[in-house]
Structure 1
Amino acid sequence: MSVAETDAAIPATREAPAGKPAGRRAGFRTRRLITPLALLVLWQATAQAGVLDPAKLPPPTDVLAAGRRLAADGTLGGYLADSVQRAAAGLLIGGLLALALGALAGLLRIGDDLVDPTVQMARMLPHLGLVPLLIIWLGIGESTKITLVALGAFFPVYLNTYAGIRDIDERLVEAAKTCGLSALERIRHVVLPGALPAVFIGLRLAFAAGWLSLVVGEQVNGDGGLGFMMMEAREFSQTDVVVLGLLVYATLGLLSDLVLRVLERRLLAWRRGLRAT
């Protein structure tokens, strides 16, 4: 058998396990909903039985009713749009800057010497503790909130980009160089594919940190957004609205993580990792 025939046969062999019935794969996805639904049922049952104080933790039906009310008058949609815009701007700024500096420090010795020590020192600072200083520097407008999100997103992406590049087997780079690939071609065909798994881990962590930073920013000095909605509801003891805001934040985080996972599967379709049985 020729080398070409052998290479053609290998993917066919690997694809065999993936050819499971669609119903079985759908069953796996449905099974992931069992625990969240069970928790909702338990929450509702304990609230109706009087175990939970509605003033402190209202039942899911009350939270859903609050969501419908705020969605009907446009309040929830407006606050949601504010939060999404801030999160998108902060994640874009922090993520792109982290990718650029992480690649610079990972690929070049001078970049490592000039960039990495400063970043390692800065990441030891609790970025949420910088809120008072950011207010003094930037005021209480949009800049402070976006900066908080960018700071939260920066360090996970930088660290994972740097580690992903440095963890690439040097022998692969040397082999590519021996084969006549230029520096840019080595980055494209060896470094980038090898670092992408770590970069996606950093992106998923960055999204989580970004949403967390946004919650704090909107609650400390907000004039709009879900965090502001929650703080305003607290002033009037509207616990159902506070819980609604938390659930919306959680949903946004899950949706953004799902988008990243789908994108990861598409871009890293060549990778065959261990799968749960």
Structure 2
Amino acid sequence: MPEAATPIALSSPPASTVAAVSPVTRRPRGLGPHALLAISWAAPLILLVAWESFARLGALSPQVLPAPSKVFATALKLIEQGRLISDLGASLLRAVAGFLIGGGIGFGLGTLVGFSRLAEALFDRSVQMVRAVPFLAALPLVIVWFGVDEGGKVFLVSLGVMFPIYINTVLGIRQVDPKLVELGRVSGLSSWTLIRRIILPGALPSILAGVRYALAVAWLALVIAETIATNSGIGSLAMDAREFLQTDVIVLTIVIYAGIGVASDAIARALERRLLAWHPNYAKGAR
């Protein structure tokens, strides 16, 4: 009689192996969140100190690249004159209006195309064709349509914002695990509940990635939009400075755009942490 087969003992993989293949980015040992924050700001601060040092030593001409201290003094002067705050407010208003309009259209159209192959056949090819048109190529037509009023500037920002949110919304909906959808149907969930509880939360990481990218595109579109004849906004401030060769003002506008970009990205990250607290890759301590 043949001997009974000896069962093979199943053992779990070593902890080191599990950690190596974990999809979650882990924090280096011994470094807390405050240390990581300090490291992330170290490179910009070193660059700033080097910039100031080279300018003071005369290696950088003030007409080419003024020192950060000179740029800061220029900012204080413009604030005292009341120009910087009003121009910044005008640019922020255009960016917010364009983002809300373009983001709403992109999300709505992306949701429709993500759920319906018929909607994809109707809209997607046209959207992709318009997306390939550069901002500068569309600028003359925008001037013909809207003139030099605020509508043209908001339109360009909306146009730029719409595409990242549209594409990432479609991608997020299409990438939801079909097994989860089937499980929801078997559990008796209605179509609306299925969309609200399973599909949209599953697509949310991709949608929020589109929001982060759209925030950067919004400022790029705004810079181009404010080159249209205008007497307010950060772009207008830069154009006036170019006419009078005020390099310090031009550098200041670049720094303002960079600062707003960092602030908007930080807001988007905070939104991710709040809305995706249930997701293991976004949970507290996962990064």
Same-fold status (TM-score > 0.5): yes
Structure-1 residue corresponding to 2:236: 228
Conservation of the 8 A alpha-carbon contact between 1:154 and 1:206: yes
Q: TM-score, normalised by structure 1?
A: 0.89
Map Cα deviations across residues 60-119 of structure 1 (whole Å, 9 max, x no partner).
010000000001121100000000000000000000000000000001222122121211
Conservation of the 8 A alpha-carbon contact between 2:280 and 2:286: no
Q: Secondary structure at the match of 1:188?
A: helix
Conservation of the 8 A alpha-carbon contact between 1:128 and 1:148: no
Conservation of the 8 A alpha-carbon contact between 1:90 and 1:147: yes
Count of equivalent residues = 259
**Residue 155 (str. 1) matches residue 163 (str. 2):** yes
* Aligned-residue CA RMSD (Å): 1.9
Give the whole-Å Cα distance in 2 for the aligned partners of 1:242 and 1:201.
31
Larger radius of gyration: 2
Q: Secondary structure at the match of 1:58?
A: coil
Stretches of 4+ moved more than 3 A in 1?
274-277
213-222 vs 224-233, which moves further: 213-222
Map Cα deviations across residues 216-245 of structure 1 (whole Å, 9 max, x no partner).
111233221000001101111111001001
1:124-273 map, 5 Å: 124-273=132-281
Conservation of the 8 A alpha-carbon contact between 1:128 and 1:213: no
Q: CA deviation at 1:121?
A: 1.6
Amino acid at match of 2:50: L
Gaps of 5+ in 2: 1-25
Give the whole-Å Cα distance in 1 for the aligned partners of 2:264 and 2:107.
19
Structure-1 residue corresponding to 2:124: 116
Give the whole-Å Cα distance in 1 for the aligned partners of 2:84 and 2:228.
19
Residue in structure 1 matching 2:80, options 69, 72, 77: 72
Give the whole-Å Cα distance in 1 for the aligned partners of 2:229 and 2:182.
52
Q: TM-score, normalised by structure 2?
A: 0.86
Q: Which protein has greater RCO, CA pairs closer than 8 Å, 6+ apart?
A: 2
Give the whole-Å Cα distance in 2 for the aligned partners of 1:198 and 1:152.
18
Give the whole-Å Cα distance in 1 for the aligned partners of 2:259 and 2:199.
34
Taking only the aligned residue pairs, the percentage that are identical comes to: 43
